Structure 1
Amino acid sequence: MARQVEIMSNIDNFWLHMDHPTNLMIITGYLAFDEPLDFGRLLETFKNRLLCYERFKKRVIRPMSGVGNATWELDPKFDLRSHIHRVALPSPGDKETLQELISDLTATPLDPTKPLWQAHYIENYNNGGSVLFVRIHHCIADGIALIRLLLSMADIEPNAAWSNNIPEKKGDKTSSIDFFPPLEGVLKKISRARRQISRASKFLTKEIEASISNPGHVVDRARLISKYAVDATSVISKLLLLPADRKTAFRGDLGVRKSVAWCNPLPLEDIKSIGKYFNATINDILVSMVTGALRRYLQQCNNLVGDLDIRMAMPVNIRPMDAAIELGNQFSLILASLPVHIDDPVLRIREIQRRLRDLKEAPDAIIAYTMLNALGVSSAKLAKFGATMFANKMTGVMSNVPGPRFPLYFANKEIKDIMFWVPRIGGLGLGISIISYNGKVSLGICTDTGLVDDPNSILRHFENEFRMLHGMYKAGQIDRDPLVINDRFQDTISDAAKEEMANSSGAIQAIRCKALTRSGTQCHNRAATDSIYCTIHLSKYEHLSDLKVSSESDDDDRTASAG
């Protein structure tokens, strides 16, 4: 018999705490079809392939004291039809109309008296097509697990066998432990503590035996422990000392209304070709294109981007990808700094490639996961305070999920398109989602309407970045090894190398002007051809150079006369 009451894990409890009217902790996604679905078969698919996971029939019971973990409890009046709604898209039923409807649903809270998920079957889309829009609270599972679960409800071929005679189980409160959930929690904690003590005693016995037989074992253990302690201290200190992210059009006070949009799918093979040319991953290329799109939008909003980096939280999956589908949150967050200040697309790819490589080798993800677990044990107020402080150091959340490379069929109809949107913690108003499916890749954006009322403009910039990069690649106009690849366009080649390049090509392109501004910082303008200065500083510095040469000549003349 299934357990009627289950204590929520610390990490799941953390994401439950993060709910706020201006930022709901709900993962959303849709499946698009070119034709209508059989609604009866749709219901049976959910009954047979989703409700086999008990959590989707359990509601959340928060502790009366406000402290401690919430519990999962089977809903005694669970009804599948209370969670799946059938609606029709108003005329003209196009993409813009669907985006408006999904934006409205995205800002609508889930009913806390029922299991925290909901689905809308949307008809009259795009000349006879349909859409299945699903919303699931973050405390049930993370985005990767939920996407895997949703896709596992589909078939790899049409007309696949299915069953409609599996009885739907209702949640009956018949277990005696339901009358004493606090006592059950105490008993579980005592039992858990006994098991942990038993495991700890066995571990200590083995460690003592190893230390007696091999004194060097103590030194090895000390080094290992000190390494992780230093890593944890370093990462936590770095997070605490990070300044708040720069004020841009993406940051500000949030409202309830959200704006959702997604681009037309791009050919994944073209992005692979570009990545192969640069010896970069698909993720490197996509993140670079997103960075370029954000740069263009900020310039459109008259934001200064000359020396701007913006930080994005990136979810990192810490479960094996080949593991069985398991609900709950098993991911962490890392902070990736996007070099928005870099205009040149080639330089931007190189720099993002370097930064993401450094993040992969760092211990930040595991340590951040431990911190989220710790916050999950605390009160909702303390957890929200910690999340707000963390969110203040970034601009948004960006997630990239690889999907299946072949078409899938849901309720006997082919899935034509897939998209999802990540929730944002604290006061973050920008969420960016990337997903690949059946040889194509799509970008989705969710923004706070008060900050960015038209996310489609960012998507247009993203598509322009792709067209520009792909056009340069096809025309063979991309230099794989640009002159400068560091954070702030620092010139890394020696004077001898410059002289050799000048002798061989007759010209040097310095990329960035070498002049200093009045504040003492390097000018951010691009250098003119055959010069190390931009057009603004060119005449000034060349004039000073002439004066210096003239002055040196006069000194030589005076010295000669004196001789």
Structure 2
Amino acid sequence: MSRNEEKDHELEPVSPGARLMQAPGLNLCIIAVMGFTTKIDPNVFKKGLQDTLIKHPRFSSLLIVKNSKFTWKRTRVEMEEHVFVPDLDPEMEYSGDEFVEDYMSALSTTPMDMKKPLWEIHILNVKTSDADSVLVFKIHHSIGDGVSLTALVLACARKTSDPESLPVISSAASARKRKPDAAVDKGFLKRVFVLVWTVVLVVFNTCSDCMLFLATVLFLKDKWTPIKVARGDDALSSRKRFVHRIISLDDVKLVKTAMNVSINDVILGITEAGLSRYLNMRYGKIRENVTDQENMKKSSKNHLPKNLCIRSAVVFNLRPSATIEDMAEVMENAKELKGTWGNLIGICLLPLTISLHEEEEDPLIHVRRAKSTMDAKKLSLGHKCAFAVMKLMMFLFGNKIAGGVSRKVFQNTTLTFSNVVGPEEEITLFGHPLSYIAPSVHGFPQALIIHYQSYGDKLIIAMGADEKLIPNPHQLCDDLAISLLNMKQAVIKKGLVQFC
């Protein structure tokens, strides 16, 4: 093999999804804060990274852009260029929580250095309200999607209870209880009817979602609210504030079991209810500033506009992700994992009804509405069609046009919502016990993104908020937590759960 052939052999094409993450106005980066119950030993952590993460091809490759072609090229990783340990003043004037938030906000305005692999780690040995030290992990989204990256990071970890064992992530598919004899009990005609009706629903929901997606790209915009940017470019240039709140996953499961719904249904209901509470407060502040205060109904507690509906963009993973064991094998052998890595994702639009008086009458109405919405999305191929169209547009018109279409979807909706399943029990990362993980994303034209990350018996609400439009994201976290508490109290009051 000649030297030029060998050089070309080192280059690997970048997937369409990864190229889309590099499009103008969609320069997406994942930024996650991981809290630990002990101080972090930088030398131990660097050694752990050298033995694991660095061996993964994406974390030891440069992204080369030449003549509109995107390729990965393996390179030598210099640990000092990726792991940063700032010298912190132990007598700092403000709290550790505020320091970490300010530090992450500054990172959201700092572009990634394209001359090295697109990831970096910041070790902050500062005590916060939820941890004795934190680690901030910033990764360009073109390296991989959230599910793949979660599996990769957990492949570097071990169970706290068994230091030799890899963590376990619960699977939604395996968690479903199948009724093996249910289909046998049904008559032939009934089974045929159910099958035909299911096909009809899939076709109808898919067509509806595709039309909604096309309308959103062309003209359909969410109405202005205090959490929606007027122009997408404003959100790209403004700093983001990253905050989190830890709530009980057991409380979520209690509501789930009582209402016979999924955890995703409950989480979506919490999001709708929390946003209703928060927006009611924001609209109330606006009413307080009107000039004709004498005509205001001061006794009214509901300040929300009537029939207010906003939409959330939800990103779906379209292929089975690599298991933790697969990721561990890749890092051990320093080989590429074919077919289970990258950004194979589709976008789905979820409507959220913002209403306060309904919640006051019955907090569980948000969960019922969320279940109805999610059931329809499960019987739809709209997100797969969206991915196919984006891939075709990228092939025909290039990265810039396809990126512009995706950017329109985010500009014309209000927020992004996601839920990632984490390990079932507590873990250690290179010998450091993990307290929580709170992932988020920046680099897209929205003012708000809400992530939910499970970890053991905890559910972490991780939020990235535009500092100008949402100056009090902690209040929104409070409203989400209160909404879950109201739902828990409602199912107990209605007698929908029984305690031993």
TM-score, with structure 1 as normaliser: 0.67
User: In structure 1, what is the Cα distance between the partners aligned to 2:158 and 2:145?
Assistant: 22
User: In structure 1, what is the Cα distance between the partners aligned to 2:393 and 2:282?
Assistant: 37
TM-aligned CA distance change 1:291 to 1:100, over 3 Å = same
Report if aligned partners of 2:268, 2:370 keep a CA contact under 8 Å in 1.
Answer: yes
Report if aligned partners of 2:322, 2:341 keep a CA contact under 8 Å in 1.
Answer: no
Map Cα deviations across residues 485-531 of structure 1 (whole Å, 9 max, x no partner).
Answer: xxxxxxxxxxxxxxxxxxxxxxxxxxxxxxxxxxxxxxxxxxxxxxx
Q: Aligned AA for 2:32? A: G
Report if aligned partners of 2:101, 2:241 keep a CA contact under 8 Å in 1.
Answer: yes
Counterpart position of 1:293: 274
Counterpart position of 2:156: 153
Report if aligned partners of 2:206, 2:380 keep a CA contact under 8 Å in 1.
Answer: no
Counterpart position of 1:550: none
Q: Aligned AA for 1:418? A: I
Counterpart position of 2:16: 10
Which of residues 453, 457, 462 is equivalent to 1:439? 457
**1:237 aligned onto 2:211:** yes
**1:251 aligned onto 2:228:** yes
Counterpart position of 1:370: 388
Q: Aligned AA for 2:212? A: K
Q: Aligned AA for 1:292? A: A
Report if aligned partners of 2:239, 2:466 keep a CA contact under 8 Å in 1.
Answer: yes
TM-score, with structure 2 as normaliser: 0.75
TM-aligned CA distance change 1:376 to 1:53, over 3 Å = farther
**1:339 aligned onto 2:353:** yes
TM-aligned CA distance change 1:276 to 1:88, over 3 Å = farther
TM-aligned CA distance change 1:88 to 1:293, over 3 Å = farther
Report if aligned partners of 1:313, 1:336 keep a CA contact under 8 Å in 2.
Answer: yes
Q: Aligned AA for 1:250? A: I
**1:264 aligned onto 2:245:** yes
Q: Aligned AA for 1:244? A: K
Map Cα deviations across residues 140-190 of structure 1 (whole Å, 9 max, x no partner).
Answer: 10111111111111111379479xxxxxxxxxxxxxxxxxxxxxxxxxxxx
Which of residues 99, 102, 113 is equivalent to 2:101? 99
TM-aligned CA distance change 1:230 to 1:161, over 3 Å = closer
Determine what percentage of the aligned residue pairs are the same residue: 21
Report if aligned partners of 1:315, 1:334 keep a CA contact under 8 Å in 2.
Answer: yes
More strand as a share of residues:
2
User: In structure 2, what is the Cα distance between the partners aligned to 1:247 and 1:470?
Assistant: 32
Which of residues 356, 360, 368 is equivalent to 2:374? 356
Map Cα deviations across residues 66-122 of structure 1 (whole Å, 9 max, x no partner).
Answer: 4xx4111223x5312201111255524422221221121122211111111111111
TM-aligned CA distance change 1:290 to 1:305, over 3 Å = farther
User: In structure 2, what is the Cα distance between the partners aligned to 1:73 and 1:376?
Assistant: 22
TM-aligned CA distance change 1:161 to 1:275, over 3 Å = closer
TM-aligned CA distance change 1:98 to 1:447, over 3 Å = same
Alignment of 1:403-422 (within 5 A): 403-422=422-441
TM-aligned CA distance change 1:231 to 1:371, over 3 Å = farther
1:70 is paired with a residue whose SS is strand
User: In structure 1, what is the Cα distance between the partners aligned to 2:414 and 2:163?
Assistant: 44
Report if aligned partners of 2:276, 2:354 keep a CA contact under 8 Å in 1.
Answer: yes
TM-aligned CA distance change 1:478 to 1:407, over 3 Å = closer
Give the CA deviation at 1:318: 2.0
Counterpart position of 1:213: none
**1:144 aligned onto 2:131:** no
User: In structure 2, what is the Cα distance between the partners aligned to 1:227 and 1:463?
Assistant: 35
User: In structure 1, what is the Cα distance between the partners aligned to 2:210 and 2:134?
Assistant: 43
Which of residues 319, 323, 342 is equivalent to 1:328? 342
Give the CA deviation at 1:381: 2.9
Give the CA deviation at 1:38: 2.1
TM-aligned CA distance change 1:293 to 1:82, over 3 Å = same
Give the CA deviation at 1:266: 1.4
Q: Which has the higher contact order (CA 8 A, sep 6+)?
A: 2
Map Cα deviations across residues 373-396 of structure 1 (whole Å, 9 max, x no partner).
Answer: 234434343123212322233111
Give the CA deviation at 1:362: 0.7
1:155 is paired with a residue whose SS is strand
Counterpart position of 1:393: 412
Unmatched segments (≥5 aa) in structure 2: 1-5, 166-199, 284-302, 328-339
Report if aligned partners of 1:433, 1:445 keep a CA contact under 8 Å in 2.
Answer: yes
1:441 is paired with a residue whose SS is strand
TM-aligned CA distance change 1:413 to 1:148, over 3 Å = same
Q: Aligned AA for 1:366? A: K
User: In structure 2, what is the Cα distance between the partners aligned to 1:122 and 1:158?
Assistant: 26
Which of residues 127, 130, 135 is equivalent to 1:125? 127
Counterpart position of 2:178: none
Report if aligned partners of 1:33, 1:414 keep a CA contact under 8 Å in 2.
Answer: yes
**1:56 aligned onto 2:63:** no
User: In structure 2, what is the Cα distance between the partners aligned to 1:284 and 1:89?
Assistant: 42
Counterpart position of 1:172: none
User: In structure 1, what is the Cα distance between the partners aligned to 2:355 and 2:162?
Assistant: 52
**1:379 aligned onto 2:353:** no
1:17 is paired with a residue whose SS is coil
2:380 is paired with a residue whose SS is coil
TM-aligned CA distance change 1:55 to 1:262, over 3 Å = same
TM-aligned CA distance change 1:12 to 1:470, over 3 Å = same
Give the CA deviation at 1:285: 1.2
Report if aligned partners of 1:104, 1:257 keep a CA contact under 8 Å in 2.
Answer: no
**1:83 aligned onto 2:82:** yes
Structure with max Cα Rg: 1
Give the CA deviation at 1:286: 1.4
Map Cα deviations across residues 170-217 of structure 1 (whole Å, 9 max, x no partner).
Answer: xxxxxxxxxxxxxxxxxxxxxxxxxxxxxxxxxxxxxxxxxxxxxxxx
User: In structure 2, what is the Cα distance between the partners aligned to 1:266 and 1:227?
Assistant: 36
TM-aligned CA distance change 1:131 to 1:401, over 3 Å = same
1:309 is paired with a residue whose SS is strand
Q: Aligned AA for 2:126? A: N
Give the CA deviation at 1:369: 1.6
Counterpart position of 1:319: 319
User: In structure 1, what is the Cα distance between the partners aligned to 2:205 and 2:257?
Assistant: 34
User: In structure 2, what is the Cα distance between the partners aligned to 1:88 and 1:279?
Assistant: 51
2:271 is paired with a residue whose SS is helix
**1:280 aligned onto 2:265:** no
Give the CA deviation at 1:322: 6.3
User: In structure 2, what is the Cα distance between the partners aligned to 1:231 and 1:468?
Assistant: 32
User: In structure 2, what is the Cα distance between the partners aligned to 1:137 and 1:394?
Assistant: 23
Unmatched segments (≥5 aa) in structure 1: 163-225, 480-563
2:72 is paired with a residue whose SS is strand
TM-aligned CA distance change 1:232 to 1:437, over 3 Å = closer
Counterpart position of 2:189: none
Q: Aligned AA for 1:87? A: P
Alignment of 1:445-456 (within 5 A): 445-456=463-474
User: In structure 2, what is the Cα distance between the partners aligned to 1:7 and 1:60?
Assistant: 10
